Chains A and B, each alone.
Chain A
Amino acid sequence: MGDWFEQNGALLGLALLDGIASAALIFMVAVGLNLVFGVLRVLNVAHGSLFAIGAYAAASIGLFFTSAGLPAWASLPALLLAAMIVGLVLGPLIERLLLRRIYSEEPVLQLLVTFALFMILEDAQKLVWGVQPVSFSAPVSLMGTVDVPFGADVIPYNTYQVILLPAIAVATLIGLALFLRRTLTGRVILAVTTDREAATAMGIDARKVYLLTFTFGAMLAALGGALSTPTASLVPGIGASTIVLSFAVVATAGLGQIEGAALTALMIGIGRSIAVTFQPELEVVVPYLIMVAVLLVRPQGLFGVVETRRV
Chain B
Amino acid sequence: MLELQSVVADIAGAPVLRGVSLVLPPGGRVALIGRNGAGKTTTLRAVMGLLPLRGGRVMIAGEDATALPAHHRTRLGIGYAPEERRLFGLFSVRQNLLLPAEVLRLPKAEITRRLDAVFTFLPELATLADRRAAGLSGGQGKMVALGRALMVGTRAVLLDEPFQGLAPALALRYAEALRGLHASFPDVALLVTESNPSLLTPLVDQTYVIERGEIAHDGAMASA
Binding site for B on A (CB under 8 A): 184, 187-188, 190-191, 194-195, 197-206, 308, 310-311
A309, chain B: closest CB distance, angstroms: 9
Q: Which residues of B contact A (CB under 8 A)?
A: 48, 50, 69-75, 80, 82, 84-91, 95, 99-100, 102-104, 134, 138, 148, 152, 165
Residues of A within 8 A of B72 (CB): 203
Cross-chain contact A194 with B75 (CB below 8 angstroms)? no
Enumerate the 5 nearest inter-chain pairs by beta-carbon distance, A residue then B residue, closest first. Answer: A203-B74, A198-B86, A202-B100, A203-B103, A311-B138
Q: Is the CB of B152 within 8 A of A187?
A: no
Task: Report Cα–Cα, A56/B140, bound state, in Å.
Answer: 53
Q: Determine the distance from Cα of A206 to Cα of B72 in the docked complex, in whole angstroms.
A: 11
Which residue in chain B gives the minimum CB-CB distance to A195? B86
A188, A190, A194, A202: residue with the most chain B Cβ atoms closer than 10 Å = A202
**Of B75, B85, B99, B152, the contact of A191 (CB 8 Å cutoff):** B99
- Cβ-defined contact, A201 with B90, below 8 A: no
Instruction: Decide: A184 and B103 in contact? CB cutoff 8 A.
Output: yes
User: Do the beta carbons of A191 and B88 come within 8 Å of each other?
Assistant: yes
A194 near B71 with CB under 8 A, answer: no
Cβ-defined contact, B50 with A201, below 8 A: yes
Residue of A nearest to B148 (CB): A202
Contact across chains for B71 and A187 when beta carbons are under 8 A apart: no
Shortest beta-carbon distance from A152 to chain B in Å: 46
A195 CB to nearest chain B CB (Å): 6
Measured in the bound complex, the distance between the Cα atoms of B100 and A45 in whole Å is 34
Pairs A–B under 8 Å by Cβ, sample size 19:
A184-B103, A187-B99, A188-B99, A190-B91, A194-B88, A195-B86, A197-B86, A198-B82, A198-B88, A199-B88, A201-B70, A201-B73, A202-B100, A202-B152, A203-B71, A203-B72, A204-B71, A205-B69, A311-B138
Given contacts A190-B88, A190-B90, A190-B91, whether A200 and B50 have CB atoms under 8 Å apart is yes
Query: Most B CB atoms within 10 A — which of A199, A200, A204?
Result: A200
Which of B74, B85, B90, B165 is within 8 Å of A202, CB to CB?
Answer: B74
Residues of A within 8 Å of B50, CB to CB, are: 197, 200-201
Q: How far is the CA of A108 from the CA of B43 in the complex (A)?
A: 32
Chain A residues whose CB sits within 8 angstroms of the CB of B71 once the complex forms: 200, 203-206
Complex-state Cα separation, A204 to B104, whole angstroms: 9
Q: Are A203 and B138 in contact (CB under 8 A)?
A: no
Q: Which residues of B contact A200 (CB under 8 A)?
A: 48, 50, 70-71
Q: Tell me how far the C-beta of B25 lies from the nearest C-beta in chain A, rounded to whole angstroms.
A: 23
Distance of A110 Cα from B94 Cα, bound (Å): 37
How far apart are the CA atoms of A311 and B83 in the complex, in Å? Answer: 10
Docked CA distance A204–B72 (Å):
8
Whether A194 and B80, one on each chain, are in contact in the complex, defined by CB atoms closer than 8 angstroms, is no
Cβ of B75 and Cβ of A203 under 8 Å apart?
yes
Set of chain A residues within 8 Å of B138, measured between Cβ atoms:
311
Instruction: Flag if A202 contacts B99 (CB, 8 Å).
Output: yes
A-B contact sample (11 more), CB < 8 A, given A188-B99, A201-B80: A187-B99, A190-B90, A200-B48, A200-B50, A202-B74, A202-B103, A202-B152, A203-B72, A203-B100, A205-B71, A206-B71
